[in-house]
Structure 1
Amino acid sequence: MRVVKFVVLAIVAVLLVAVALANSQPVTLLLLPETMAAFLGLTWSVTLPMFVVILGAVVIGLLIGFLWEFAREHKHRAAARTERRERESLQREVKKMRAEKPGQGDEILALLEDGSVPQKRAS
């Protein structure tokens, strides 16, 4: 399984290098369209290689997706946290009850061992 993981990572690395080499020409990114930027007075721009823009867009998309899923799964994590706290509380209660009455086992078994419960007769 480890070998497959490294092979897949190597293939992804080769593909990323190929994309970077094929898209190395510089592009200019503008904050706003030119007419709107002239109207508002905001003329922010940056020139980057195309592969940086592509990979940056992929990374930003992944981060947005991860954050979206993190927020969407909040109710599941909250329910799991509540159940864990309840389980721990019940475990503490059982431990406390066992400490209060040491030596006592199951009540039904104690009744059967005592013999006070009538047994079925074989016919």
Structure 2
Amino acid sequence: MRRIVSLLILVPFALVVALLAMANRVPTRISLDPFTPDNPVWSVTGPLWIVLFVTFTVGVVVGGCAAWLVQGKHRKAERTYKREATRLEREVERAKAQEAQTGLPALAGPRGR
């Protein structure tokens, strides 16, 4: 099911990208110099579809890095919880081994029982 949904999304997207690339083959100048518009020092010339593709790729990379940085506190909390769970599992195993060895409960149960 997931593969079908992927195909229903990716095939039309690929078709649109291919059509965009074929329709925009004329070289386009992208200028990064606002002071000399006639002869810019900072400019790149290339097909518009390449400029759009590079812009999209840079946006995805910057967005991914921003999301990764924001999620850092969650990754740190997960590491802390995993360490705590491992410590508690070892403590339970040690208590079970001690109970099996001595025959006495290693951990006191709740009062009133």
Please, what TM-score do these two structures have when normalized by structure 1? 0.72
Shift of 1:64: 1.0
* Residue in structure 1 matched with residue 77 of structure 2 by the alignment: 79
Report the Cα distance in structure 2 between the residues aligned to 1:69 and 1:20, rounded to whole angstroms: 30
Higher relative contact order (CA 8 A, sep 6+): 1
**CA pair 75-107 structure 1, distance change in 2 beyond 3 A:** closer
Which residue identity is paired with 2:96?
R
Report the Cα distance in structure 1 between the residues aligned to 2:10 and 2:104, rounded to whole angstroms: 59
| Residue number among 41, 65, 68 corresponding to 2:66 in the alignment | 68
1:21-100 alignment runs, 5 A limit? 21-35=22-36, 43-100=41-98
Pair 1:11 & 2:12 matched? yes
Report the Cα distance in structure 2 between the residues aligned to 1:54 and 1:32, rounded to whole angstroms: 19
- Percent identical pairs in the alignment equals 32
Gaps of 5+ in 1: 109-116, 118-123
Shift of 1:29: 2.6
Gaps of 5+ in 2: none
State the Cα deviation string for residues 22-68 of structure 1 (Å, max 9, x = none).
Answer: 211111233433539x8xxx934332110010111111111111111
Please, what TM-score do these two structures have when normalized by structure 2? 0.77
CA RMSD of aligned residues (A): 2.5
Which residue identity is paired with 1:43?
V
Report the Cα distance in structure 1 between the residues aligned to 2:80 and 2:108, rounded to whole angstroms: 31
For these two proteins, the number of residue pairs brought into alignment is 105
Report the Cα distance in structure 1 between the residues aligned to 2:6 and 2:67, rounded to whole angstroms: 25
